[in-house]
Structure 1
Amino acid sequence: MASDRAQTAFTWDAAWFQDCTRAEMPAWRGVESQAQVATWRLVDSGAEHEALEEMLETSKPPLPEGCEGLHYLLFTPFRYTSPYASRFRRPNEAGIWYGASSVEAVCAELAYWRHRFILDSAGLAKDEDGLLTLHTFFQTHVDGLALNLTAPPWVDGRPQWVDGADYGSTHAVAAEARIHGIDWIRYESVRCPGTHCAAVLSPRALHTQPPYDLQEWICRATRVRVIVTHKNSGTTFSWDF
């Protein structure tokens, strides 16, 4: 089976998926906290908030198979589709849970997408104050049948896996991985070189460890700079664009 990028010499073979083995990886993920803040503004007590959340739950898509028993921070990405592509998911395909091997890598991904959001929003792009958002970072454990794009023979296709804009090859590999029952894909971080990320295709890979080490981070994004700061310690990462 050849990858989607015919202009490159690298091709991959569907038989390689038979050599995939079980692997594990601690993984960090960050989610925006604004939604919970918004719902709390509508109520006066914890009981009212719980009732509101139950009402909202009935309007959401049903949980996909395999998500039973998972914390919402783990099952939410599988619940929704998006018209916009990500590195291993075509538009409107089943959701993927993305995580990274370090907090810095999570911050780098956050910075990239916040900056993209600023540039795509005409009003925000003109606002020197930019956008201030609160995020929850947490850690969990990914464990399952894994495709490792950083190991032979897959690593020979590295230029395709780390392409910053063309996701054709990674889309093709992920689609084939699903056919072969692969639970997650290990790959090199594009935004934070030297670290690794996990693209979890199946909730099976997240059943071993609930979220832990929850942290609050603040992100300030403008058209020229993104700064991500730990709310308590003050640890800061920044990127200039």
Structure 2
Amino acid sequence: MIWQDCHGEQHIVTLSGSLFRLVESQQQVATLSLVDTLAEQALLEQLLEQTKPAVPAHAAGLHYLFKTPFRYPPLKWGSRFGAMHEPGIFYGGSSVEVCLAESAYYRLLFWHSIDAAPPKASLRTEHTLLTARYHSRKAVCLQQPPFNAHKAALTDKTSYQQTQQLGTAMRLAGVTLFQYCSARHPQQQLCVGLFSATAFTTKQPDSTSQWLCELSAEQVVFKQAGDSELYQFSAELFKVDGKLPRPV
């Protein structure tokens, strides 16, 4: 295993920095469309909150954009560093571009997982891009020696097996935060993962901005509201042997 081969506990460091994370702007819009007043919306959201999984103690009192990933388990195949049975991980990118590249892959995965024919040639959605600062005395830099000797496994586009084993080992060692190279960005820019919300330096995002996304079978396009710059990601960028990989 990577952690044992690298004597991981000898390479736990202190790390600080900033991250970006993109989420769908759906919570308030979805509930507001069901009620007539803001008071009714507040009551509905309170009732919905009671049906959700409990917030872990380490994420209590944080902004909902911070705590949400920790209260839900990963997807049915897990995440890159999280097995199906483990608590969720807060993932982010070290730049806007790598954050959008990772998001584009999962948008395409969503599109190609639809069983029926899509109702339209493209799907437009609204998103929020948040920024946050982090600091941890129990961090690991997987892009640096000795871990980078395992870069092929750490950036495997089709299998999460070795990275999930590594994630479990890091949790057991008390690691709260880690950096790693993106498997979806062409230049493999850095991403960040938080096992614990204690690594956040504030209780709410430093900033948020609104973004639009246009998704089709061939590409994903992002644009910040009020800005003309487009971030385009072709599906070909993420394919392996001509197919969009579904991690296992």
Is the pair's TM-score, using the shorter chain for normalization, greater than 0.5?
yes
SS at match of 1:163: coil
What is the aligned partner in structure 1 of residue 246 from structure 2?
none
> Following TM superposition, by how much is the alpha carbon of 1:35 offset from its aligned partner in structure 2, in angstroms?
3.1
Does the 8 A contact of 1:88 with 1:167 survive in 2?
A: yes
Q: Map Cα deviations across residues 93-115 of structure 1 (whole Å, 9 max, x no partner).
A: 11100010111111111111111
Q: Does 1:195 align with 2:189?
A: yes
What is the aligned partner in structure 2 of residue 7 from structure 1?
none
Give, in whole Å, the separation in 2 of the partners of 1:81 and 1:209: 22
RMSD, aligned α-carbons: 1.7
SS at match of 1:182: coil
Question: Which residue among 225, 234, 242 is the counterpart of 1:231?
Answer: 225
Does the 8 A contact of 1:32 with 1:135 survive in 2?
A: yes
After superposing the two structures, state which structure 1 stretch, 157-166 or 40-49, moved more: 40-49
Q: Does 1:108 align with 2:101?
A: yes
Q: Does 1:183 align with 2:184?
A: no
Count of residue correspondences: 232
For structure 2, list consecutive stretches of 5 or more residues without a partner in the other structure.
Answer: 236-248
Does the 8 A contact of 1:28 with 1:139 survive in 2?
A: yes
Please report the TM-score for the alignment, with normalisation by the length of structure 2: 0.88
Does the 8 A contact of 2:6 with 2:146 survive in 1?
A: no
SS at match of 1:66: helix
**2:209 is matched by which residue type in structure 1?**
Q
Please report the TM-score for the alignment, with normalisation by the length of structure 1: 0.90
What is the aligned partner in structure 2 of residue 8 from structure 1?
none
SS at match of 1:122: coil
SS at match of 2:140: strand
For structure 1, list consecutive stretches of 5 or more residues without a partner in the other structure.
Answer: 4-10
Does the 8 A contact of 2:93 with 2:192 survive in 1?
A: yes
Give, in whole Å, the separation in 2 of the partners of 1:194 and 1:165: 15
What is the aligned partner in structure 2 of residue 47 from structure 1?
39
> Following TM superposition, by how much is the alpha carbon of 1:121 offset from its aligned partner in structure 2, in angstroms?
0.8
What is the aligned partner in structure 2 of residue 6 from structure 1?
none
Does the 8 A contact of 2:222 with 2:231 survive in 1?
A: yes
Give, in whole Å, the separation in 2 of the partners of 1:107 and 1:34: 18
Percentage of matched positions with identical amino acids: 32
> Following TM superposition, by how much is the alpha carbon of 1:176 offset from its aligned partner in structure 2, in angstroms?
0.5
- Structure 1 runs of 4+ with >6 Å offset: none
